[in-house]
Structure 1
């Protein structure tokens, strides 16, 4: 599918709320938990570049560097730098991050600067750190604008607060007294306290609701904290105005420093980050294809159904681990590469929107970047799909009981050996075609990367990269003629595909009727044997479809690259700026808690004189307690209800918690007896720690508390070293402070999990050293003017530690009091939302399949058609799931830090649900991709394949010409007699989602589809004279018919209703489609449009069903089952005891 920029689907209580979680790293550049992903973007510049040339040794001929010289052994320094990951990109980013606070502190040594900022100079380096100059330009500019907005709005609110406080002082001063005289005023302090509570609550509601405002709200909180706590002393508006102006200027100067460093010191654009991620994706794709080839080679001789390890007697005697089979080693290497590719594609999915909005002087514009991303995604979806062969063979082995051969009967072992021999021969026959395809994919990816300047062009003196034609012509990637060579290789591959099928047929029994057709049909004696043969055919076609689709996708990618070169796009640079539409969409995304929403009401679109009514899945979630408003007064009432909903929301509760935590310490500043103590001990920093460290979930709060305390201890030690190693001299202290900050950013980049600790270390160092340098500059008398005594460094460090520990402890207390929102609860809700979105995704695919079969889908590129709407909905659902997956993984890690009271947390069950739901989403993506990009090339040898100009870019079976729709029409007619499997899958996924969300038990029986159930029914229908519907339509107890009722109307399903009348009239009737069904699955139809897609659908649906069964087991283990049955069980001891006591009674 695609990036989530289009219309929405069905809603779920947490489907939209999940991605906005504070721990979601992808779309929110301001969230602290996301800083690792974003700050390492420039770090990727060095690392991802190495991923662009990762072929296996056996692919050297495909890479074309000839016989490479033996590389020199790296030296000790190089090995250390490589071990630490200190490449050029990392060092540049470390230096870039350390500059803003260093410049701010050095700038304060100038007398004009020091005389202006006086005691607020420490805020400049602190806020410059929070400005995050290390972010790529697109994300930084977004953050910068929001930060400036927060500072300006905070300054206005601070002035309002101080004006109200001073007016309260004036109105409560006794007549005859001068309100300008200093002194404590309870009304003034109370007003400041109330305003501070409101500011903190409001800011954190916005922070929780809109994660993009996370850092801006922290800066806003610092501003209002400082203003409100100092406001209790102010007596005149002139002083208040000057103070706020000074405070705002300090923060704006800090943000300006971060802006200058980001734009002029090693500037890194979001486009550059995306291009490097593109390069890494190309490299990982080439490596994955190479490993896939190695895996298929291992299947030529290995037993793909055997256990993953082999244990020898010698190994058991020596106590060694059992060695892995060759097939398992290849499979593990392939899965590892696939995992890295998925991770990188997730980063791309998140970074693409920022690259599209970036200003640049370059060649590819936003549309080009988006189109290239779509094309590269079309390559990695089928390439990653090939990895499912590992799951397929494993599940076949488990389903047939072949995992352990020690206690299997001889006939089962013989059956397994027969199946193994068939697949060994198929894989041998697949070797040469896949070798041709892998070369074409490798060359095409490199060619596209070179033409679009994503990969570096090889040096002119180097030998050509690859012998691209058997005739000996040397055409390197980047040459315009390479596209024709790749097309020829794909044509050669398509011509060889039929040999794989003939090899499979040769290994089967032959059908006597096969002489009538070009391809013989296998025939087994038993229904089970026929089913196994049909499943083998499906898997063969499934693999061929993935290989064909990946080759076609590479052709499209090469064609796009050549087009950009031919039309002059790559010949010169030009100014690239986002348009009005893109900026408007960006602004809406910032102020919205979710992506662009779906239509408010069902669309009525007239297509071919037919009214298309879209279902409830396209609308917002309904309110079960209120009907949709029909009048203006009812709509006004809905608006009023939103007010109470807002104040009762989780975001409002979180803001209330943060405000209470802040006032726990802030109240000291507003009481007469403790006001001076607050100033003397600098407790405002404890309030700032609360603003920085307060989180919504308890697990993250515990981890953050430990990180901040440990980080402050480290910062205190580092500050003592920085200050005393140079004997307190400003020049030396600034240099050492820069060096320690520079080192700190290494951990910031390499260990994103510990970003809270690293940020505290850097900020605390800057505060301690900055305060000492500030005192040296302005003098001791000026430093103590506000009542804060001067502390030397060895005392100031422990005071800072106490403030941080106290603030973190208060934040932790208010996170869990009065009741905590645990990461375990959030994980469960995210899982529920994911299952619900997967159910929606499956519903979209089922509707797409149905409209394709009926021929009513229309053109996917025409707005308003069902195909276009379904595609947009699917893209948005896919994007939401992509954002929820990292959120679930993070909550799964955070929950480790939550104290367990009572039974243990069932993490294995939750991890199993995450894994299975992710796999189901991957299988559904393969189905969607197969429907969107069908196989149109005939499989029989000698049939001409279509040229690249004839390949539709967005075709689907529904738009095929009418003569080619015969098989599809026959399939559609037969499917109309069955209750579709998607009803049960969709219902089960939705039920599991609701059960996880509410904690309610599952029903004792769920209608789970069987693997290849549709194939089984078609075969049963085709090999019998009468159509007897399966037993699942009858109740097990009384034999009565089970009704299938439409949830929307309460009306019985049309098929079950019609079938009931037919059965009442004449038991078993002859199906009108029995003859058509007899030929539907015959291999002679594999050339028909839609047959291969049907095979992909059957294989992927079976994989979905297997994981769905596992989901039911895992969820039922968590929430239980509604079961009131009972049974009697007696052990032998109880029976003996009963007989022994027989005849004994109570003696009166």
Structure 2
């Protein structure tokens, strides 16, 4: 065995302290869109979803030295950015022009009493998107309005048909007689309509039935298809108007919806004009601009790693925690940007643009950059391993270990984990401890002794590693800089007319080629020569043989393998840097090849509509671009736990590039071989897709209570069961709440005694607020409600001030009104565009309420309306009261069904991520099994055994999507913290620890997958690693799979874990490796390690083996940590005497291993 007896890297630490997770502000499910139901999908140039990544990254990067600004970073950053000013100018102009449209008397009379809604729409859906995306987004808005209008018109027609003709005739005669003597009979007749004089219980019942059914259907759609929430919101708003006022009319009034439709049409027209003529930009341009931002973030992350390696002062525990916090923020930012770009990539081929690269070209490039992200995340394993190194008592100043804290007896167990309620609130401040067994404790002691005998400290190796890696890190930075400069240059010179621009682009392209060549040369020197400096402190342990080679005898080899952990940790980082460098060279070559084929700008027209509907209907959190509403507002707990079954974006891209004759992936081969290669490419693409489909089919859940349907009755029964399951799920209960609150707040409008009051007080706004204030999960609703009320109060005060400044005590004039509105809109629109996601809901409410108060005040003084709302402060308090009533109504219906807790969502999400980790682990093990099955025959075939590109293409989306889910979990944890907690304190700290453990597991799996590529070429190290480690031991594979499956199921259902499953994976791994070492010696297959030579250690394959061993150790240790955390959350099923039995067996095993 390579790292005998416990693989010093396999046992990285005794405990993993829980660094405070970046829960951040509660942004999860409620970054409000239009009336605060969903996320505003159009923020920054590509949507609010991009801001999450950028601002998390900004928060993690240290402030520029010398900056004394007291303002938040998001303000100073956007104030200094010219592009931000362009977007602000465009959006401000759209809002201001729509405000001015309601000032002339004729246009005000045309728009009616909701004229201010035009300006409000431009505020809720700002014009800061590319034209094609804006058209698609607003097309969904218009479709939603038309859907609500059509349903409302159908309800009104059915209501009129059901009216009692005798009663209607009597009501009309009475009304005509009463208004005959009025000076304005028409106005008096209209007043009687809104006083409820023509109400008919039959018509009201029919319209109410339509209304409830429509609200329920839209509620289901909002929950099940979150990316269509924009359509659902406006469908609800228009339907509210039609069904609330429809029962009041004694005749057909199908144009009621024009109250909102006319302002919406005007706002869309103005916004579209501004997008076309005020700093217009295509999706291709904005997407590429954000790609440049992602590359800059990659450079920042690389620079952070470079600074960390070069500064030994950052390697103590407090500095490690601070670096981990910054690293986490920047990594989450990179994940956010990567997911945002992936979400928009489906729309690139719908865009009309002029530029060098098409949408398909950019889709292809994104795959390489996403792989770079995975490599960068893998580099974070080194500081985390250093944290474990310190946490486990292995700091250099205390080599003998656990002298600072007494070691508990193995098997003592955590009483709090087995009994409900024993863990006090104060105990949550301390991380969950893994109580190690006798075998682990003795292995740790043996490792400490061996490390002391080696006389090589980690602090000795780190300067050597920093010096060796310096040129490679610098070359990586230059290559990334060259790529960034080239992409930015091509993006900025889309309309170039001068030869000088062509020359500059050629220079930047040549810079990429030069930087790639330099990186390839420096990296090769690093792998071949520079990294060998890490072995020099160990050279005095080697003996010179007769042939001049340096060898370790058997005992010295054992001591080296056991005590060489400082070297092994450094080699993990070396491998990470090497993989990143190779991928960067590959990406550089791809860009150069692509640029050589695309040598000039041209006009690119739309080429595909295939992916749009799939993106819009996908629940996948990383898909959808500007339609990426926070899908968790609609995810059921079952969906969250099970994971997303949608195809990933990478798969779609690979299929399209492999099967399309215009793809560039195989251009060189096609140029050489013609049509045969095109057919081969298509066949290869289809085969790859079939393999992925087979992999997905294996994971399909089966019904344990019924076999597959065989006749029509079975299919009908399944359909009915499916409908019932939807209706009783959390999504169905949410839709039921929408329907109930709709009915409850609609009834006063159709009761004769309250109809007039309801209309005059604008009760329909309370109805709208109640409908759109509902969320699936209670924590999100608590946060959103607080944000709404706070935003309403602040916005109302601002709107009141705007009115009195422009009008004083009079009715105002158009010039003052326009000037005040224009000035006030600047900060309001800036706030709307660039506020951090955590503040988006209150920011949206501030702007909406200010516009409502300001607009209503003008309408009240310049347009005759049946119900006056007053001006200034009167509008403010009425609006605030309506918001409070609507929120109260939304909270009242939470009692229907069992409230879906945000805390339950967090638990289900952790369970779902655990299942994802199991899927990734299974995929990696499949690759290793394939290598192992051919390891003997591979000597005759030196080619690689596994399809590396297929494994990369399959694992990259799995890893990145799971990293993204973990980043999103931080948001859910923040939301769950404000959830209602009637049963007791929520153990937030435990979920933070669980997320951290899962992140470590993903890092380990990333390295384990990378090691598969390194050992896929036959070698002695390959055989040794596969046959003498625990990686491919069937019992360990079964244990890990069962372990993760049990954890996932326990978290999903709240079932206690068996006591035997908590904290024992590391023990079993060590035991298996002891047995594997004995078997290797008996079979005589340990030649490569029984007498280690320095030449053998210098082989690059040795680094991959070490990385695999370290990754396996980190993975199983993190599994144990996650199991201990889960046991603390859900409890354990006790098994008396098990710990003592385990201790005796491990004592025997240890004694045997020492004698052998």
Same fold (TM over 0.5): yes
The CA deviation string for residues 1058-1082 of structure 1, in whole angstroms up to 9 with x for no partner, is xxxxxxxxxxxx9546457866987
5+ residue gaps, structure 1, are 1-20, 58-69, 310-323, 466-473, 859-864, 936-956, 1028-1069, 1128-1148
Are 1:190 and 2:219 an aligned pair?
no
C-alpha distance in 2, partners of 1:349/1:24? 20
Identify the match of residue 918 of structure 2 among 821, 839, 849. Answer: 839
Moved more, 205-214 or 184-193: 184-193
Query: Is 1:683 aligned to 2:729, yes or no?
Result: no
Task: State the 1:454 CA deviation.
Answer: 5.5
Unaligned stretches of 5+ residues in structure 2: 1-25, 177-192, 404-444, 624-634, 636-643, 652-682, 939-945, 1139-1156
CA–CA separation in structure 1 for the residues paired with 2:268 and 2:76: 34
CA distance in 1, matches of 2:576, 2:605: 37
The separation in 2 between residues aligned to 1:566 and 1:234, in whole angstroms, is 69
Whole-angstrom CA distance in 2 between matches of 1:328 and 1:111: 64
Q: Do 2:52 and 2:836's aligned partners in 1 also have CA atoms closer than 8 Å?
A: no
2:37 and 2:773 in contact (8 A); partners too:
no
1:470 maps to which residue?
none
Whole-Å separation in 2 of the counterparts to 1:1000 and 1:246: 54
Q: Aligned-pair distance for 1:712?
A: 1.9
Alignment partners' CA distance in 2, 1:725 and 1:373: 51
The equivalences for 1:876-887 within 5 A come to 876-878=957-959, 880-887=961-968
Per-residue deviation, residues 566-609 of structure 1 (Å, max 9, x unmatched): 22x1432322434244446546648998563599xxx999999x
Q: How does 1:89-100 map to 2 (within 5 A)?
A: 89-100=83-94
Partner of 1:730: 814
Match of 1:438 among 467, 473, 476: 473
Query: 1:158·1:228 contact (CA, 8 Å) conserved in 2?
Result: yes
| Preserved contact between residue 451 and residue 562 of structure 2 (Cα < 8 Å) | no
Question: Which whole-Å deviations, capped at 9, do the CAs of 1:238-267 have from their partners, x for residues lacking one?
Answer: xx2333456544433333333333444333
Contact 1:151–1:251 (CA<8 Å) still a contact in 2? no
1:87 and 2:120 matched: no
- Matched-pair contact (CA < 8 Å) for 2:30–2:841: no
Of residues 508, 523, 529, the one that matches 1:490 is 523
State the Cα distance separating 1:686 from its structure 2 match. Answer: 0.8
Contact 1:708 1:756 (8 Å CA) reproduced: yes
CA contact (8 A) 1:208 1:651 kept: yes
Give the direction of change, closer, same or farther, for the CA distance of 1:571–1:661 in structure 2 (3 Å limit): same
Q: Does 1:700 pair with 2:780? A: yes
Task: Find out whether 1:506 has 2:539 as its counterpart.
Answer: yes
Distance 1:449 1:46, change over 3 A: farther
Which protein, 1 or 2, shows the higher relative CO under an 8 Å CA cutoff with sep ≥ 6?
A: 2
1:792-871 equivalences in 2 (<5 Å): 792-817=871-896, 819-855=898-934
Please state how far the C-alpha of 1:220 moved relative to its aligned partner.
0.9
Matched, 1:915 2:996: yes
Which of the numbers 606, 612, 618 marks the counterpart of 1:577? 606
1:655-1054 matches, within 5 Å, as 655-727=735-807, 728-748=812-832, 749-778=834-863, 780=864, 783-784=865-866, 788-789=867-868, 791-817=870-896, 819-855=898-934, 874-878=955-959, 880-931=961-1012, 934-935=1013-1014, 958=1016, 960=1017, 964=1018, 968=1022, 972=1026, 978-979=1033-1034, 981-1006=1036-1061, 1021-1022=1076-1077, 1024=1078
Which deviates more, 361-370 or 1110-1119? 361-370
Q: Structure 1 residues 203 and 72 mapped into 2: Cα distance closer, same or farther (>3 Å)?
A: closer
Alignment counterpart, residue 270 of structure 2, candidates 252, 257, 262: 257
1:95-129, CA deviations, whole angstroms, 9 ceiling, x for partnerless residues?
Answer: 43344443233212344433433334344333443
Alignment of 1:226-245 (within 5 A): 226-237=241-252, 240-244=253-257
Q: 1:427 to 1:517 in 2, by over 3 A?
A: farther
Q: Is the 8 A contact 2:102 2:108 kept in 1?
A: yes
Shift in alpha-carbon separation, 1:617–1:872, aligned structure 2, 3 A = farther
Q: For residues 337 and 420 of structure 1, do their structure 2 counterparts lie closer, same or farther at Cα, with a shift above 3 Å needed?
A: farther
Is 1:118 the counterpart of 2:112 in the alignment?
yes
Moved more, 706-715 or 28-37: 28-37
Q: Is the 8 A contact 1:697 1:815 kept in 2?
A: no
Change (3 A) 1:702 1:794: same
1:407–1:438 Cα change, 3 Å: closer
Other-structure match for 1:1056: none
Q: 2:1131 matched to which residue of 1?
A: 1120
Once the two structures are superposed, what CA deviation does each residue of 1:1019-1067 show, in whole Å capped at 9, x if it has no partner? 7645x4x67xxxxxxxxxxxxxxxxxxxxxxxxxxxxxxxxxxxxxxxx
Aligned residue in 2 for 1:223 = 238
Residues 1:158 and 2:152 are matched in the alignment = yes
Q: Is the 8 A contact 1:33 1:753 kept in 2?
A: no
Matching residue within 146, 149, 167 for 2:140: 146
Distance 1:637 1:813 in 2: 35
Q: CA deviation at 1:416?
A: 5.7
In the TM superposition, what are the counterparts of 1:1076-1115 in structure 2 within 5 Å? 1085=1096, 1091-1115=1102-1126
The answer to whether the 8 A contact 2:57-2:333 is kept is no
Contact 1:720 1:793 in 2 (8 A): yes
3-state SS, counterpart of residue 40 of structure 2: helix
CA distance in 2, matches of 1:607, 1:980: 32
Question: Structure 1 residue 561 and structure 2 residue 641: aligned?
Answer: no
In structure 2, the CA distance between the partners of 1:653 and 1:705, relative to structure 1 (3 Å rule), is same
Q: 2-side partners of 1:597 and 1:456: how far apart? A: 30
In structure 2, the partner of 1:393 is 386
Q: Which moved more, 1:449-458 or 1:722-731?
A: 449-458
Is 2:317 the counterpart of 1:308? yes
- Equivalent position to 1:35, from 40, 43, 46: 40
What does 1:536-615 align with in structure 2 at a 5 Å threshold?
538-567=568-597, 569-583=598-612, 585-586=614-615, 589=618, 596-597=646-647
* Cα distance in 1 between the residues matched to 2:526 and 2:471: 6
State the shift of 1:190 in Å.
1.7
Taking the aligned partners of 1:1122 and 1:1092, their CA distance within structure 2 comes to 42
Q: Offset of 1:1083 from its aligned partner?
A: 6.5
Distance, in Å, in 2 between the alignment partners of 1:1074 and 1:26 is: 60
Superposition deviation, residue 543 in structure 1: 2.8
Aligned to 2:293: 280
SS of alignment partner, residue 1000 of structure 1? coil
State whether structure 2 residue 672 is matched by structure 1 residue 640: no
Q: CA–CA distance in 1 between the matches of 2:169 and 2:399?
A: 101
Number of residue pairs aligned between Structure 1 and Structure 2: 972
Once the two structures are superposed, residues 984-1024 of structure 1 have per-residue CA deviations (whole angstroms, 9 ceiling, x without a partner) of 222211111110111110101117565597687567645x4
Distance 1:677 1:901, change over 3 A: same
The C-alpha deviation readout for 1:32-61, integer Å capped at 9, x for no partner, is 664388447589899979999x9999xxxx
Provide TM-score, normalisation by structure 2.
Answer: 0.74
How far, CA to CA, are the matches of 1:996 and 1:534 in structure 2? 38
Determine the C-alpha separation between the residues in 2 that align with 1:489 and 1:55: 28
Distance in 1 separating the partners of 2:454 and 2:30 = 46
Match of residue 1057 from structure 1: none
Aligned equivalents of 1:254, 1:296: Cα separation in 2: 54
1:124-145 per-residue CA deviation (whole Å, 9 max, x = no partner) reads 3334433342345454333212
Q: Distance in 1 between matches of 2:479 and 2:975?
A: 42
In the alignment, structure 1 residue 209 sits paired with structure 2 residue 224: yes
The structure 1 residue matched to 2:355, chosen from 353, 362, 381, is 362
Q: Is the 8 A contact 1:45 1:276 kept in 2?
A: no
Q: How far is the alpha carbon of 1:1114 from its aligned partner?
A: 1.1
Q: Give 3-state SS (helix, strand or coil) of 1:574's partner.
A: strand
In 2, are the aligned partners of 1:139 and 1:270 still within 8 Å (CA)? yes
CA deviations 1:801-855 (Å, max 9, x no partner) are 1111111221122235554222111111111111111111111111122223334
* Partner SS state of residue 625, structure 1: coil
**How far apart are 1:219 and its partner, in Å?**
0.9
CA contact (8 A) 1:695 1:815 kept: no
Report the CA distance between 1:671 and its aligned residue: 0.9
Provide closer, same or farther for how the CA distance between residues 811 and 1095 of structure 1 changes in structure 2, counting only shifts above 3 A: same
